[in-house]
Chain A
Amino acid sequence: MLLERLSKKPFSKSSIAIRLSVLVLAVLTIYAFASFDYKDVKLWDALLLTVDNLKTMFFEPHLKHFTFTQALYQVSVTLGLAFLTTIFGAIFALMLGLLAAGNISSKSLSVVIKGSVALIRAVPTVLWVLIFAVAAGLGSVAAVIGMTFHSISYLVKAYSESFEEIDKGAIEALQASGANWWQIVFQVIIPSSITYIISWTFMRFEINFAVAVAMGAAAGAGGIGFDMFMASGFYFDLSEIGAITYFILMIAICLEIFATQIKRKLKVSS
């Protein structure tokens, strides 16, 4: 039996799956390159042009169509969009996440919530924003609601998975002592998963900032993303895109440093 397993090892299910997925990815990649619609782009010239463009962007940044303070204000609008969607998303996701966790909710409810959340997640954020834009008009309302939809679905998955990892014994102990559902949630579930909740929520905040930039560009949500879209699509001003990119980069790197610090702190305390 053991010998059989040992001799089979090189062809175990997992190594076959690994080889097969590498092979499939390679074949798909080659096929993709063969089937691209190149539209007479000269690859080498375009790559050189890109390098040249990046040089203009990063080494000659300037602001022409708005001032430094205006840019700072637009960045804060983008940050505000990200913050609102994260907070709204976290509040709704916390409630839904509790109902979706298999160990503290009924099985059928958990399946229903997880399934619908997976469907919501499958629709790209920008499509949610555009769908809501028909009802609410282009602007911050549609952007916040659409982005919140996506944040909820992402966080419900993350939260409910960390709720499900909680030690069964602790829940049973409280149930045996006659605690009701709310007491179990507030005495066991939330305290023992709070570090996960915080780090997932902050990670979503980072993602939402990038999404908010993109929504400004693609769905007219305002903020720095919209200015970047104007600089690219209307003024063809690479140097301005460069300056805006520096603004976005600055905020994104600050958020990342902050996130690493939060993670380190949570790890020490837990």
Chain B
Amino acid sequence: MSADVFAKKRRNSLALFLLIGAATAVSIIITEFSIAKGVTSVPKAIQWSLSNFYPTKDSLAKLPDILIKLKETLLISVAATTLAGILAFVFAILGSNTTRVNAFFGGFSRGVAVLFRNIDVSIWALVLLFSFGQSSLTGYFALFFGSFGFLTRAFIETIDEVSCSSVEALQTTGASYLTVISQSVIPSAIPQMISWVLFMIETNIRNATLVGLLTGSGIGFTFNLYYKNLSYDIASLVVITIIISIVCIELISNYVRRVIL
């Protein structure tokens, strides 16, 4: 009997490995990926970056310009995440099973969240480019919509997790809906929600670079400009400033998370 179980287990994992192998082979064919070229390009890229991709003394002259763009990008990411968090909070209250007003609003807000979450920021960026042009607002709204979907989902799960019993307890005492929200849901869910917002800010700073590349604004555009001009020394300076700011923000948010959770 036990031999059977092991044989079945082995058969199952063999089938799974074959399936993954086949899927990998198919993917290699349709994407025209060449393993040999992939393997050789890694040392080539390292060699290239060691000989070209570092800032020189001349490129430091561009540092003030880069820092201005970086500041703009960071502010856009923070502002987009904060406002998306507020809107997501409203939708999460309506969408969570413990706090929703009625089934219709519950389903509606969950549906909106699914739609927004699955449309990537790159799509938003390309669409918003039509109406906002090459301004900071294009990036702002792209990040805003992208964060909104993700945060709504995260907040719904947080509220469901933390506030089931305390909400019921308050409801039995006859507390009004707003009292329940402000006295029970917000206090018990806020550490988790701030943690999600901080995570989203980190993600958004990376996304802001991408959005900037696509829409011609912020730090992404600055990188693209120097990269396309083959001024790799300045482009590398841009990358270094991005790394420093993301690592700093990660350290800050890790610290805050440790204190509040």
In the assembled complex, B94 has its CB within 8 A of some CB on chain A: no
Bound complex: CA A79 to CA B24 (Å): 11
In the assembled complex, A155 has its CB within 8 A of some CB on chain B: no
Interface locus among B112-120, B162-170, B171-179: B112-120
What residues of A have a CB within 8 angstroms of the CB of B37 in the complex?
136, 141
Q: How near does chain A come to B151, taking the closest CB pair, in angstroms?
A: 13
Q: How near does chain B come to A191, taking the closest CB pair, in angstroms?
A: 11
Bound complex: CA A51 to CA B24 (Å): 41
With A132-B45, A222-B31 known to touch, is A26 a contact of B137 (CB < 8 Å)?
Answer: no
Which chain B residue lies CB-closest to A232? B126
What residues of B have a CB within 8 angstroms of the CB of A98 in the complex?
none
In the assembled complex, B160 has its CB within 8 A of some CB on chain A: no
Which chain A residue lies CB-closest to B78? A28
With A18-B191, A21-B194, A144-B33 known to touch, is A214 a contact of B72 (CB < 8 Å)?
Answer: no
Main secondary structure of the interface of A (DSSP, over half): helix
In the assembled complex, B239 has its CB within 8 A of some CB on chain A: yes
What residues of B have a CB within 8 angstroms of the CB of A50 in the complex?
127-128, 130-132, 141
Q: Which of B72, B83, B127 contacts A53 (CB 8 A)?
A: B127
Q: Which of A18, A33, A119, A256 contacts B243 (CB 8 A)?
A: A119
Inter-subunit contact B78/A29 (CB<8 Å): yes
Inter-subunit contact A80/B127 (CB<8 Å): no
Inter-subunit contact A130/B27 (CB<8 Å): no
What 3 A-B pairs are tightest by C-beta distance, nearest first?
A80-B27, A136-B41, A32-B75
Which chain B residue lies CB-closest to A218? B213
21 residue pairs A–B, Cβ–Cβ below 8 Å: A18-B191, A29-B79, A39-B135, A43-B137, A50-B128, A54-B127, A118-B247, A123-B242, A124-B210, A127-B223, A127-B242, A135-B44, A136-B38, A142-B41, A145-B45, A210-B122, A214-B120, A229-B214, A252-B119, A252-B120, A256-B118
Inter-subunit contact A18/B260 (CB<8 Å): yes
In the assembled complex, A22 has its CB within 8 A of some CB on chain B: yes
Bound complex: CA A13 to CA B242 (Å): 31
Q: Which of A140, A225, A241 contacts B32 (CB 8 A)?
A: A140
Which chain A residue lies CB-closest to B30? A80
What residues of A have a CB within 8 angstroms of the CB of B123 in the complex?
213, 228, 241, 245, 248
What residues of A have a CB within 8 angstroms of the CB of B14 in the complex?
none
Inter-subunit contact A124/B242 (CB<8 Å): yes
Inter-subunit contact A124/B206 (CB<8 Å): yes
Inter-subunit contact B75/A31 (CB<8 Å): yes
In the assembled complex, A83 has its CB within 8 A of some CB on chain B: yes
Inter-subunit contact B120/A33 (CB<8 Å): no
In the assembled complex, A14 has its CB within 8 A of some CB on chain B: yes
Inter-subunit contact B132/A41 (CB<8 Å): yes
In the assembled complex, B26 has its CB within 8 A of some CB on chain A: yes
In the assembled complex, A182 has its CB within 8 A of some CB on chain B: no
Q: Which of B76, B126, B131 contacts A217 (CB 8 A)?
A: B126
What residues of B have a CB within 8 angstroms of the CB of A218 in the complex?
122, 210, 213-214
Interface residues on A, range: 35 or more
Q: How near does chain A come to B122, taking the closest CB pair, in angstroms?
A: 4
Which residues of chain B (103-145) have a CB below 8 Å from chain A? Answer: 114-115, 117-123, 126-137, 140-141
Inter-subunit contact A141/B131 (CB<8 Å): no
Inter-subunit contact A136/B24 (CB<8 Å): no
Inter-subunit contact A145/B42 (CB<8 Å): yes
Inter-subunit contact B118/A252 (CB<8 Å): yes
Inter-subunit contact B243/A236 (CB<8 Å): no
Bound complex: CA A35 to CA B28 (Å): 47
In the assembled complex, A179 has its CB within 8 A of some CB on chain B: no
With A38-B135, A41-B133, A218-B214 known to touch, is A225 a contact of B122 (CB < 8 Å)?
Answer: yes
Q: Which of B34, B41, B247 contacts A135 (CB 8 A)?
A: B41
With A29-B79, A141-B34 known to touch, is A84 a contact of B114 (CB < 8 Å)?
Answer: no
Inter-subunit contact B242/A253 (CB<8 Å): no
Q: How near does chain A come to B35, taking the closest CB pair, in angstroms?
A: 9
Residues 203-229 of chain A, each 1 if its beta carbon lies under 8 Å from chain B, else 0 = 000000010011001100011010011
Q: How near does chain B come to A176, taking the closest CB pair, in angstroms?
A: 25
Bound complex: CA A134 to CA B53 (Å): 11
Which residues of chain A (117-141) have a CB below 8 Å from chain B? Answer: 118-119, 122-127, 130-132, 134-136, 139-141
Inter-subunit contact A131/B49 (CB<8 Å): yes
In the assembled complex, A87 has its CB within 8 A of some CB on chain B: yes
Bound complex: CA A241 to CA B131 (Å): 14
Q: Which of A136, A214, A222 contacts B44 (CB 8 A)?
A: A136
Q: How near does chain B come to A149, taking the closest CB pair, in angstroms?
A: 9
In the assembled complex, B259 has its CB within 8 A of some CB on chain A: yes
In the assembled complex, B256 has its CB within 8 A of some CB on chain A: yes
What residues of B have a CB within 8 angstroms of the CB of A43 in the complex?
137
Bound complex: CA A209 to CA B126 (Å): 17
Q: How near does chain A come to B32, taking the closest CB pair, in angstroms?
A: 6
